[in-house]
Structure 1
C-alpha cells in the first residue's frame, strides 16, 4: 500500500486490534465505521480473507476488494481443523460480497466456491531496489560467515508449523552424508532489511511448506539469483519455470536431500534475476491500480443506473 500511495492514491490503513474477540470486534466495528465516514473512501480493500474480509464486508457498503493470500482459503496445519474451517467459510462469504477478488495464484482462485465476482491474479511483487544479486563472499564478509561452509536459507516466519521445519531438518541431515559442513539457516523475526544480505550469503533456498499461495520468498530468492529447491506447492512451479538451477521435488526426505546435494555441489547462482523483473513491486502496483479503476467505474455505472431508475 505504500507503493500505491506513492502513485498518487490517498490511502488510509486500518488494522484490527483483534480477530478473535467478539467484544473487541464490536468495538472495532464502531471505530471502523467512524474512520470510513471521516475518510469517505471510494474503495475498501481487505488484504486477507477470514475474519478480516468478513469484518469489512459486514461493516461498510463501500465497494469492496478482497485479496486472498493462501492460508485464508487453503487448509492449514497452524490451527485446529474447526478454526481453519470457519476461517475459510468466512473467506467464502466475503467473496460473495466483494466487487472484485484478487488471488495470489490460480490455485487460490480455483478454491473460491462461488466465483460470481470478477477476479484477478496479482501476487505480491518484489522490491527490486532491495532484492538484487551481490557477491556471495561479500555478503558473508558483512555477516561474518564462513566462506567455505554451505548455507541453506529456510523461511520460518509467518506460520512455523506449516513450513514443516522437521522435514527440512531431516533433509539437511540426509545432505550431511555427502556434504558435512552444511547449515540450515532458519530465518524468523529478522530485521527485513537484512533478508537480502542473508539470501545473497546462502547457497540455496529450501521450501517445504504444506500449503502456500504465491510465496514471496521464492520471488525474492530469484531476484537475488539464489537457487531454489521446493516441494510442489502454490504457484512455485510456475514461478520457477525456466529458472536454473532450481528443483521441484516430492515432499520426501531422500528426494529433497538429493536435490540439495545436486544444487549445492554446482556452486553456481541461478538465472532468476531476469525472470524476477516481471514480478516487481512496480508491476504489481500497476495491476492493482487497474483493479481499483475498474471497480470505481463499475460503481459509478451502478450509481448512474440506480439514479435513472429512481427518476423514472
Structure 2
C-alpha cells in the first residue's frame, strides 16, 4: 500500500513516528508539507497554493491520501482520484478554525480523531485512535542519572511543565499557582521546570528527572506528553482535558483537578506517594505498533 501523507510539519514527531510505524507494516508513505511563505507562520495563500501542488502529484500511484491536520483537508479533497483519510489532532478541531475543519471533514472518506471528546464534536462517524508513543524510548530511567543528564539538583521535589510557558493554551500561570499553593503545605521545596526546544532524545530524561508532570492546558486532544510521562512511570497531574481523565483514571498516584486547590492537593499527594505509580503498565496499549495497526485497519476499510 502507498499513501500520500499531507502535513503542516513533516518533522513533527507524531508524523515521523506514524510514517515509520506504518512502514513496519508494509505501508509506503510520501510526505508533502504545506509551504511557508514567511517567517511568522503560514498564510491563507499558502494553504490555497498547496491544493494544486497535491493535484499535480501522480495520484494514480497512491492508494489514498492522508490529511494530517484539519487545514490540509482542502488540498486532499481537491482531488477525487483516490480516497481521503484525515487525522484531526486537537487544535484543528477545537481551536480557531474548528468550524472550518468540521465542514471539511464531511467530505473525507474516513476521519480519525485522538479522543472520544473530539469525536463528539463531529456530525459524522470517526475512528478514535490516540497518538502512540515509542515505549522503547520512553522508559523508566534512574532518577539521579536523569537529573545528572538534565542538570537538575538531586534534592527537593521537581515538577515538570512540558511546554514553553508563553503558549497561552497551555496555561502556564495556572501551573505556577498550583505549585505555589502545594508548596505552602509541604515540608520540602518544590521546583517548577519548563522544557521546550530541546533535542527530542533528551525528553525521556526530563520525564524521569521529574517527580510529577503537571499539565494545566485549557484544551487538549490526546497529549503525547501525558502518555510519555506515564511510560516513564512518572506521575501526572492535569486539568481534565482531552483523553487525560481516561489515561490516569485507574491510577492511584496520578489524577486530574479543575481548580487550583484540587490540582494542588493532587500534586501534594503524588509528591508524597510511596507506592509505585503504575503508569508504565497502564500505557502499554498505546505503543506505536498498536497505533499503526489501527490506522492500517482504517486504510483498508477505506480502499475496499
Same fold (TM over 0.5): yes
Q: How does 1:66-81 map to 2 (within 5 A)?
A: 66-74=86-94, 76=95
- The aligned counterpart of 1:201 is 209
Q: 1:261 pairs with 260, 268, 271, which one? A: 268
Secondary structure of the residue aligned to 2:208 is helix
Aligned counterparts of 1:72 and 1:152: Cα–Cα separation in 2: 29
1:159 is displaced (CA, Å) by 8.2
TM, length-normalised to structure 2: 0.86
Residues 155 and 188, structure 1, Cα contact 8 Å, conserved in 2: yes
Aligned counterparts of 2:171 and 2:271: Cα–Cα separation in 1: 21
Aligned residues: 281
Aligned counterparts of 1:22 and 1:229: Cα–Cα separation in 2: 37
Aligned counterparts of 2:239 and 2:255: Cα–Cα separation in 1: 8
1:157 is displaced (CA, Å) by 4.8
Q: Larger C-alpha radius of gyration, 1 or 2?
A: 1
Q: Tell me how large the CA RMSD over aligned residues is.
A: 2.0
Residues 126 and 279, structure 1, Cα contact 8 Å, conserved in 2: yes
Residues 33 and 60, structure 1, Cα contact 8 Å, conserved in 2: no
Q: 2:151 pairs with 128, 135, 144, which one? A: 144
1:249 is displaced (CA, Å) by 1.0
Secondary structure of the residue aligned to 2:92 is coil
- Which deviates the most, 145-154 or 216-225? 145-154
- The aligned counterpart of 2:226 is 218
Residues 199 and 224, structure 1, Cα contact 8 Å, conserved in 2: yes
- The aligned counterpart of 1:8 is 26
CA 1:127/1:60 → structure 2, altered by over 3 Å: closer, same or farther? same
Mark the runs of 5 or more structure 2 residues left unpaired by the alignment. Answer: 1-18
Secondary structure of the residue aligned to 1:53 is helix
Q: 2:66 pairs with 42, 45, 54, which one? A: 45
Aligned counterparts of 2:194 and 2:117: Cα–Cα separation in 1: 27
1:243 is displaced (CA, Å) by 1.8
Any idea what the Cα deviations from partners look like across 1:222-243, whole Å, max 9, x if unmatched? 1000011111111111111322
- The aligned counterpart of 1:17 is 35
Any idea what the Cα deviations from partners look like across 1:7-63, whole Å, max 9, x if unmatched? 2211000100148434433433222222244x72111001111x2222322345420
Mark the runs of 5 or more structure 1 residues left unpaired by the alignment. Answer: 77-83, 298-312
TM, length-normalised to structure 1: 0.84
Any idea what the Cα deviations from partners look like across 1:256-303, whole Å, max 9, x if unmatched? 122212211225551010111111111001111111111111xxxxxx
Aligned counterparts of 2:230 and 2:292: Cα–Cα separation in 1: 19
1:73 is displaced (CA, Å) by 1.4
Aligned counterparts of 1:158 and 1:276: Cα–Cα separation in 2: 27
CA 1:23/1:255 → structure 2, altered by over 3 Å: closer, same or farther? closer
- Which deviates the most, 262-271 or 224-233? 262-271
Residues 47 and 72, structure 2, Cα contact 8 Å, conserved in 1: no
Residues 139 and 201, structure 1, Cα contact 8 Å, conserved in 2: yes
- Which deviates the most, 157-166 or 211-220? 157-166
- The aligned counterpart of 1:169 is 176
Q: How does 1:181-196 map to 2 (within 5 A)?
A: 181-196=189-204
Q: How does 1:1-312 map to 2 (within 5 A)?
A: 1-18=19-36, 20-37=42-59, 40-49=61-70, 51-74=71-94, 76=95, 84=96, 87-112=97-122, 114-115=123-124, 118-157=125-164, 160-179=167-186, 181-250=189-258, 252-266=259-273, 269-297=276-304
Q: Which has the higher helix share?
A: 1
